[in-house]
Chains A and B, each alone.
Chain A
Amino acid sequence: METILSHPLFLPFVMTLVIVFGFPLLAGYMVLVERKVLADLQVRLGPMRVGPHGFLQPIADAVKLLIKEDIIPEDSDKSIFWFAPMISTFTALTSFAVLPFSASLRVADVNVGILIVSAMSAVGILGIILGGWASNSHYSLLGALRSAAQLVSYEVALALALLSGVMAAGTLSMVQIVKNQQSQGLWFVFDNFGFMIVPFVCYMIAAVAETNRAPFDLPEAESELVAGYHTEYSGFRWALYFLSEYAAMFVVSSVMVTVFWGGWLRPFPNVNWLEIPFNYAFPAILFIGSGVWCFPMSKRLPYAPHRLFLIVLALILIGIGGLFLIPMVNLAIIDIFWFFFKVSVAIYSLIWVRGTFPRFRYDQLMNIGWKVMIPTALGAIFVNALIGMAKS
């Protein structure tokens, strides 16, 4: 037993299992959050029927998708049609391997971590193109073409924006990037007298395009192309595309958090007296506060099991909040808290953007990609390199 636990591959193996089996659930809840946040922006309630406030909706959706009839169009290229969603899911999940969730919690610390993430997202396009091509449908084909063009152009801007961050850190390893931010006592987004904000904004815009989300959701623009490349997909194969999309969303947010927002570090990581408010008070208030908020909410629910469910949820949240007050436990989980908190903020802003902006047109998207984003990212590299040289 001891030997298994201390084996160097033990933690990565467990982490892999957790990610592969846990992420679908997380993605389901990301969908629920997205629906709820959009509903909030759009003066409506969102899912309310399955569980209290729609809390069990993702489970119901997953079950529905699993038991749905699997339709493969007659004229499609069946083997590729069958295989394409797997490429997307596989590559999206592979990117998780290099994400550092905390100082010690990760699958692998590769010295070219960022390269792996961008390589995987580039290969992931293949799944979309093949899926669109194999469907043998005009809408799918147009969606796949758009998607390929879009991802290839924004990949460049994305990589160039990341390059500024890599220059500031001096390493490609995701863990080392965070550690360098810790030693400088500064998130890289505020580095170089604030000039790093330019590549950060570039990255953020390119990331929205890279994940095919509004206002860059042309490959699946439902008002034009019905559903784009996955028009012909249904059931679980469609769910795989969905999963890969949400995985991509999580990965780009994580990379943004790692490179620009200090990964698992709290704000002002080296100011010691801020440890109490940020590491103890903030998470405890967040969790206990949301837990307490559940009690008046539960009173308004008409259905008794829903009320009970919400109260149990409230107690769990208060319990988690209490854990943050125990110094020993706090030390173990505070890094994970900050990482996921920042990723949540990033994902929230992605949803917010989706609820606010209209969609770009194909040629405008290309214009912005090549004529605005790439020159800006290149200029940012130049300026940040000069400032970096002047500093050292």
Chain B
Amino acid sequence: MATQTFLDANELVLNMGPQHPSTHGVLRVILNLDGEKILGTDCVIGYLHRGVEKIAENRTYPMFTPYVDRMDYVASISNGLGYCLAVEKLMNLPAPPRAEAVRVILTELNRIASHLVWLGTHALDIGAITPLFYTMREREEALKIFENYCGARLTTHAFRIGGLQYETYDGFEEQVKAFCDAMEPRIDEYETLLTGNRIWIDRLKGIGILTAAECKQYGVTGPMLRAAGVKWDLRKAFPYSGYEKYEFDIPTRENADTYDRYIVRMQEMRQSVRIVRQAVANIPDGPIIAKVPKVVKPVPGEVYVSIEAPKGELGYYVVSDGTNQPYRVRVRPPSFINLQSLEKMAKGALIADIVAIIGTIDIVLGEVDR
């Protein structure tokens, strides 16, 4: 590939990753550089491939639930929710209202936790080392709620097909409310550190622009799409798990750059707090799990269920052949599809920008490679 460079010098090929501080795991990006300017990028993925979709074909439906947590391990509860909803739809076995409310609370707390990890690492990539520790402090509180609820902090396996395994613990509502009360001033604190910071604005404004049309071409979803001005949120568009009962806004921005994605995610955290407050205020009484047969054996058929995960549209396509094991499970991971836009966004940027751009996509390599 002969590309015109400054002074006709040879282009410099820089191999960034798979072991690099800011590729968020084992992403490998091969950069073609002209000085500091990026002429082209080449993404190499698959270093964390574990064959999750193939494993699904050799496990029964309930046995596969813990595996989905290992895909997007930062937002494992969302993954579990998506899979459980898919199998429930396949079996026509809706979860009871109490289970739905608890699912919404935990999923939204997980969204906050996921966005906190994103904020901390993104700020660290840009060079602000301090916000990381603040966000980890708040994430810890969310993880404590998960731990009290189901014993695990990261790969929680919180939900079961048909509802929940566990009843909420004593003091669950109070702890969630206390978290919501603490979270709002904390988000203000992050915003004082970053939102109006001149260096932060200079580094993010106008970087990694991906317009609404381009987002649609790539299939990009989630905060990246909303930062381009498209009011698209699956929680509103195709409500699941009782999201239609809660009032919340879809934050959108117009400029489709890294800064707008930052603003959108910050506002999403506020909206999540709002949803959690409404959900925790009236958790209905009743059973926590539907009448699930001992052996989960759906009738032959196929189903696609997608939810709004923190990173975008997370879809599960489950095909049943009538046995107790799925015939095929295909995951539509938001990170993997959002990552495809990296080359488009990075072209013509500087090395420092590619770090910001990788950060703004908010990838989790476990989900990209599966």
A residues less than 8 Å from B133 (CB atoms): 42-44
How many A-B pairs with Cβ below 8 Å? 85
> Would you call B20 an interface residue if the criterion is a C-beta within 8 Å of the partner chain's C-beta atoms?
yes
Q: A360–B203 contact, CB under 8 A?
A: yes
Interface residues of B in 325-353 (CB under 8 A from A): 350-353
B residues less than 8 Å from A138 (CB atoms): 12, 14-15
Q: B137–A357 contact, CB under 8 A?
A: no
Q: B350–A361 contact, CB under 8 A?
A: yes
User: In whole angstroms, how far apart are the Cα atoms of A222 and B129 in the complex?
Assistant: 11
Interface residues of A in 350-376 (CB under 8 A from B): 354-364
> Would you call A321 an interface residue if the criterion is a C-beta within 8 Å of the partner chain's C-beta atoms?
no
Which candidate, B52-60, B120-128, B156-164, B289-297, is the interface stretch facing chain A?
B120-128
A219 CB to closest chain B CB (Å) equals 12
> Would you call A224 an interface residue if the criterion is a C-beta within 8 Å of the partner chain's C-beta atoms?
yes
Chain A residue at minimal CB-CB distance from B125: A223
> Would you call A215 an interface residue if the criterion is a C-beta within 8 Å of the partner chain's C-beta atoms?
yes
Q: A361–B130 contact, CB under 8 A?
A: no
| Contact among A142, A214, A224 for B355, CB-based, below 8 A | A224
Q: A364–B202 contact, CB under 8 A?
A: yes
Mark contacts of B200-220 with chain A using CB atoms, 8 A cut-off: 1 yes-contact digit, 0 otherwise. Answer: 101100000000000000000
Q: A43–B202 contact, CB under 8 A?
A: no
A residues less than 8 Å from B124 (CB atoms): 223
Q: B12–A223 contact, CB under 8 A?
A: no
| Contact among B20, B352, B355 for A362, CB-based, below 8 A | B352
Chain B residue at minimal CB-CB distance from A361: B352
> Would you call A221 an interface residue if the criterion is a C-beta within 8 Å of the partner chain's C-beta atoms?
yes
Decide if the interface of chain A is mainly helix, strand, loop or mixed. helix
User: In whole angstroms, how far apart are the Cα atoms of A179 and B123 in the complex?
Assistant: 46
Mark contacts of A12-50 with chain B using CB atoms, 8 A cut-off: 1 yes-contact digit, 0 otherwise. Answer: 000000000000000000000000001001111000000
B198 CB to closest chain A CB (Å) equals 9
| Contact among B125, B128, B137, B203 for A43, CB-based, below 8 A | B137
Count of chain A residues with a beta carbon within 8 Å of a chain B beta carbon: 31
A214 and B127 in contact, given A44-B133, A361-B353 (Cβ under 8 angstroms)? yes
B327 CB to closest chain A CB (Å) equals 44
> Would you call A226 an interface residue if the criterion is a C-beta within 8 Å of the partner chain's C-beta atoms?
yes
Interface residues of A in 216-260 (CB under 8 A from B): 217-218, 221-226
> Would you call B43 an interface residue if the criterion is a C-beta within 8 Å of the partner chain's C-beta atoms?
no
A360 and B12 in contact, given A223-B21, A223-B127, A355-B129 (Cβ under 8 angstroms)? no
| Contact among A218, A223, A354, A357 for B22, CB-based, below 8 A | A223
Interface residues of B in 82-139 (CB under 8 A from A): 123-130, 132-134, 137
B residues less than 8 Å from A221 (CB atoms): 127, 352
A residues less than 8 Å from B202 (CB atoms): 360-361, 364
Q: B22–A358 contact, CB under 8 A?
A: no
Q: A357–B199 contact, CB under 8 A?
A: yes
B353 CB to closest chain A CB (Å) equals 7
A residues less than 8 Å from B351 (CB atoms): 142, 224-225, 362
User: In whole angstroms, how far apart are the Cα atoms of A41 and B22 in the complex?
Assistant: 23
Chain B residue at minimal CB-CB distance from A41: B130
Interface residues of B in 192-242 (CB under 8 A from A): 193-194, 197, 199-200, 202-203
Mark contacts of A192-226 with chain B using CB atoms, 8 A cut-off: 1 yes-contact digit, 0 otherwise. Answer: 00000000000000000000001101100111111
Q: A362–B36 contact, CB under 8 A?
A: yes
| Contact among B22, B129, B137 for A224, CB-based, below 8 A | B22
User: In whole angstroms, how far apart are the Cα atoms of A272 and B123 in the complex?
Assistant: 50
Q: B199–A359 contact, CB under 8 A?
A: yes
A68 CB to closest chain B CB (Å) equals 20
A59 CB to closest chain B CB (Å) equals 25
| Contact among A42, A145, A225, A364 for B130, CB-based, below 8 A | A42
A370 CB to closest chain B CB (Å) equals 16
User: In whole angstroms, how far apart are the Cα atoms of A362 and B12 in the complex?
Assistant: 18
Name the residue in A42, A214, A218, A358 with the highest tally of chain B Cβ atoms < 10 Å from its Cβ.
A358
Q: A360–B199 contact, CB under 8 A?
A: yes
A224 and B352 in contact, given A138-B14, A358-B199 (Cβ under 8 angstroms)? yes
B136 CB to closest chain A CB (Å) equals 9
Q: B36–A142 contact, CB under 8 A?
A: yes
| Contact among A142, A225, A357, A363 for B197, CB-based, below 8 A | A357
User: In whole angstroms, how far apart are the Cα atoms of A42 and B132 in the complex?
Assistant: 8
B residues less than 8 Å from A361 (CB atoms): 202-203, 350, 352-353
User: In whole angstroms, how far apart are the Cα atoms of A89 and B353 in the complex?
Assistant: 32
User: In whole angstroms, how far apart are the Cα atoms of A217 and B200 in the complex?
Assistant: 15
User: In whole angstroms, how far apart are the Cα atoms of A363 and B202 in the complex?
Assistant: 11
A363 and B203 in contact, given A222-B21, A223-B21 (Cβ under 8 angstroms)? no
Q: B128–A357 contact, CB under 8 A?
A: yes
User: In whole angstroms, how far apart are the Cα atoms of A96 and B105 in the complex?
Assistant: 61
User: In whole angstroms, how far apart are the Cα atoms of A41 and B130 in the complex?
Assistant: 7
Mark contacts of B1-30 with chain A using CB atoms, 8 A cut-off: 1 yes-contact digit, 0 otherwise. Answer: 000000000001011000011100000000
Q: A363–B350 contact, CB under 8 A?
A: yes
Name the residue in B35, B123, B194, B199 with the highest tally of chain A Cβ atoms < 10 Å from its Cβ.
B199
User: In whole angstroms, how far apart are the Cα atoms of A146 and B351 in the complex?
Assistant: 12
Interface residues of B in 148-166 (CB under 8 A from A): none
6 contacts between A and B (CB under 8 A): A38-B129, A222-B21, A357-B128, A358-B123, A361-B203, A362-B350
**Interface residues, chain A, with chain B CB atoms under 8 Å away:** 38, 41-44, 138-139, 142, 145-146, 214-215, 217-218, 221-226, 354-364
**Interface residues, chain B, with chain A CB atoms under 8 Å away:** 12, 14-15, 20-22, 35-36, 123-130, 132-134, 137, 193-194, 197, 199-200, 202-203, 350-353, 355
Further 9 A-B residue pairs, CB within 8 A, beyond A43-B134, A358-B126, A359-B199: A42-B132, A42-B134, A139-B14, A214-B127, A214-B129, A215-B199, A223-B355, A359-B127, A359-B203
**What are the 9 closest A-B residue pairs judged by CB atoms, nearest first?**
A359-B127, A42-B133, A358-B128, A223-B22, A358-B126, A358-B127, A361-B352, A223-B125, A358-B199
